[in-house]
Amino acid sequence: MRDLFDILTTIATRTMHALIITVMLVGFTFYNMGSFSTIQHFGFSQYLNNILTLQLWDVQYKIKKTVKFYDEPVPLMVIDYLEQYKISMEPFEPTLFLRPGNIINVSGTYTPDGGEVDWLAAEVYVDGEPRYGYVLAPGGSMGLFGGFVNSDEYFDQFDVYDENKYENILAQEFYDEIKRSYIIIVEADRIEKQKLAELGIYKKISTLFPDEILYKGVRKYSDEYYNRDFYCRKDDYKTIKQHYNHYFKDNYYPRLLNIHNRFES
């Protein structure tokens, strides 16, 4: 009886796992089928490839060594031939050179016949405008769920630590800007915070700042650390939120992916 119970439990567990995986795969497929921006920026073949490789989300990479940015993938033999004989043919010429410290946004991968290298479908910004094209990944990549590339001599992952550093830079600039233009009250005393609430003319804006800005200069785990908050006048909140959106939504990627910027880890 015990053996039968174990068998039924194992079958039920495996069935559940298979069901979860199936639902995820179907969900990923439908997600990619709705990503029509891929067709607009990279063409229908890249769109189909993203569906087949279950490309789910974009990923960002730091450039470690100068690489060429092409409008379309170019056969490596053609590149060698043109460079060897100093021939310039516009369709096969790089449109940009990406330097160490540049960040690219990868939306998928393309693997040519042979399968030894991959091309990354990438986005960068030039003078505030997006540019879409392809960057060669000599070390190969993995398109499953994202355009993942192992850290090598050309690329390094833009990881969560880099993201936090970038967002802290934006948050500090945002705070410095609104502090110059608006009344910002920093308060940790609960009595004083209650008085601000009773006045009815101030709004708490602490959620707009990461801990590194909110608690800057505050002794960790002190009363001030646990109670500190930022406030602005309610009349200014809408404008302040527009400034916030400029830094963290509208201009977030145009600034990060700007080829004239260099990100230092």
Please say whether the dihedral angle defined by the alpha carbons of residues 217, 223, 225 and 229, taken in this order, is positive or negative: negative
> Tens digit of pLDDT for each residue in 166-207?
999 999 999 999 999 999 999 999 999 999 999 999 999 999
**Strand, helix or coil at 127?**
coil
CB 66 within 8 A of CB 164: no
Please say whether the dihedral angle defined by the alpha carbons of residues 188, 189, 190 and 195, taken in this order, is positive or negative: negative
Q: What is the DSSP letter of 82?
A: H
Q: What is the DSSP letter of 103?
A: E
Q: In what order do the strands lie in the sheet with 229-233?
A: 184-187, 229-233, 202-204
The predicted pLDDT at position 161 comes to 93
Pairing of strands 129-137, 67-70: antiparallel
Element (H, E) at 12: helix 2-33
The set of residues, in sequence order, having a beta carbon less than 8 Å from that of 196 and lying 6+ positions away, is 185, 187, 202, 231
The predicted pLDDT at position 25 comes to 41
Residue 45 Cα distances to 73, 110, 123, 143, 236, angstroms: 12, 9, 17, 14, 48
Give per-10-residue mean pLDDT for the chain (265 aa). 54 52 42 67 89 83 94 93 85 93 93 89 95 89 59 85 94 95 94 95 94 85 86 97 96 96 84
The predicted pLDDT at position 102 comes to 97
Look at the pTM and tell me if it is higher than 0.85: no
Q: Which of 45, 49, 261 is nearest to 170 (CA)?
A: 261
Q: Which of 92, 97, 60 is nearest to 76 (CA)?
A: 92
> Tens digit of pLDDT for each residue in 140-165?
665 555 556 666 789 988 988 999 99
The predicted pLDDT at position 151 comes to 65
The predicted pLDDT at position 208 comes to 93
Residues forming a β-bridge with 185: 231
